[in-house]
Amino acid sequence: MSLTVRDFVARGLVAGAVGGGAAALFIRVVTETQIGFALEFEDAAVLGGPATGAAEFSRGTQYWGGMAAAVLYGAVIGLALGVAVAALHHRVRAHDEFGRVVRVATGAFVAVVLIPFLKYPANPPAVGDPDTVGERTRLFLSLMAAGIVIVFAAWYLWEYLSERGWDGGRRVAAVGGAFTAVVALAFVVWPPSPDAIVPPDNEASPALVVADDAPDAVLDEMLATARATGDESLRDPGDPSEPLDLASVDAGDLPGTPVAASTTELVDHSFTTMVWNFRLQALAGLALMVAVTAVVLGILLDLPARAGSRERAPAGVGG
Q: First CA to last CA across the chain, in angstroms? A: 22
- CA-nearest of 36, 111, 106 to 66 is 36
Per-residue pLDDT of 142-169, as tens digits, reads 999 999 999 999 999 999 999 999 988 9
293-315 pLDDT, tens digit each: 999 999 999 887 666 555 544 44
Q: How confident is the model at residue 23 (pLDDT cuts 50, 70, 90)?
A: very high
Please tell me the pTM assigned to this model. 0.76
What secondary structure does DSSP assign to 112-159, as a single string? IIIHHHHHS----TT-S-GGGHHHHHHHHHHHHHHHHHHHHHHHHHHH
Amino acid at 245: D
Cα dihedral 132→133→139→140 (10° resolution): 150
Strand ranges for the chain from DSSP E: 208-209, 235-236, 239-243, 258-259
Q: pLDDT, tens digit, for every residue of 96-135?
A: 889 999 999 999 999 999 999 999 998 887 777 778 888 9
User: Which of 173-177, 203-207, 302-306, 313-317 is the least confident region?
Assistant: 313-317
pLDDT at 48 exceeding the cut of 60: no
Q: What are the residue ranges spanned by the domains of the chain? A: 1-128+268-319, 129-196, 208-260
* C-alpha pair distances (Å), 40 with each of 17, 233, 274, 275, 281: 32, 21, 11, 13, 19
